[in-house]
Amino acid sequence: MADLVSSSQVTDYLGLTAADPVALDLADRVESLLAEQCGRADRPFAAATASRTEVHDGTGTTTLWLDYPLAALTSIKLGVDPSLPVETLAVADLDVLSAVVGLRQVFRRDGVFGPAGKRRYVQVVYDHGEDLPNTGGQAVLEMTAALWRRKGLEGVTSERLGGYAVTFAGGDRVQDLAESLPVWRAFVQSHGVLV
């Protein structure tokens, strides 16, 4: 199920008496579209998770940007092969690293995070905090409802379940419908990332 909305929220918002697998799948696909339009397809909005592993290119700087807000830092290893690291940083040593819970940055105080652009050079293991903007759920619910209401209308000229693609009479697309919703546009504008 999507992270921005629960199955009960989708069921209630659509006025269904019981959870409908098609409606829940539609909500998942709508949330994926929202993440894609926000430039977050590779790191979708997510609930807090323990032991996330990320591999980053060497930055050549003192700042490393994580995909999600930090809750607890477990380890940072430098080198292409984390099982044989070039360097393992002491994450609890404030002379080596500085990180603030709730932020995405980790600062190295005693050097840099490897050579700039060195592919797959920095492995970070950490617990991350929640990254679920409140208005995202409303955008997902409104778009899911808009598509759900159009389902079965005469105006649908084609539909595909895998990847949920639909074309409405007049050439309208799912993206066009999404962009017509004010809550969707506002969310993408405020939570989109520059890519």
- What pLDDT digit, counting tens, does each position of 156-167 carry? 556 555 555 555
| pLDDT tens digits, 67-116 | 999 999 999 999 999 999 999 999 999 999 999 999 999 999 999 999 99
Q: What's the rounded Cα separation, in Å, for the pair 64 and 131? A: 18
Angle at 171 between CA 156 and CA 182, to 5 degrees: 90
Q: Is the dihedral of CA 119, 111, 69, 184 positive or negative?
A: negative
Q: Which candidate, 192, 195, 172, 150, places its Cα nearest to that of 38?
A: 192
Joined together, the tokens standing for residue 159 give 């539909």
Q: What percent of the chain has pLDDT over 90?
A: 63
Once rounded to an integer, what is the mean pLDDT over residues 150-176? Answer: 59
| pLDDT tens digits, 1-31 | 578 999 999 999 999 999 989 899 889 989 9
Taking the CB of residue 21, how many other CB atoms lie within 10 A of it?
8
pTM above 0.85, yes or no: no
Q: What's the rounded Cα separation, in Å, for the pair 128 and 164? A: 30
**Residues found in the chain:** 195
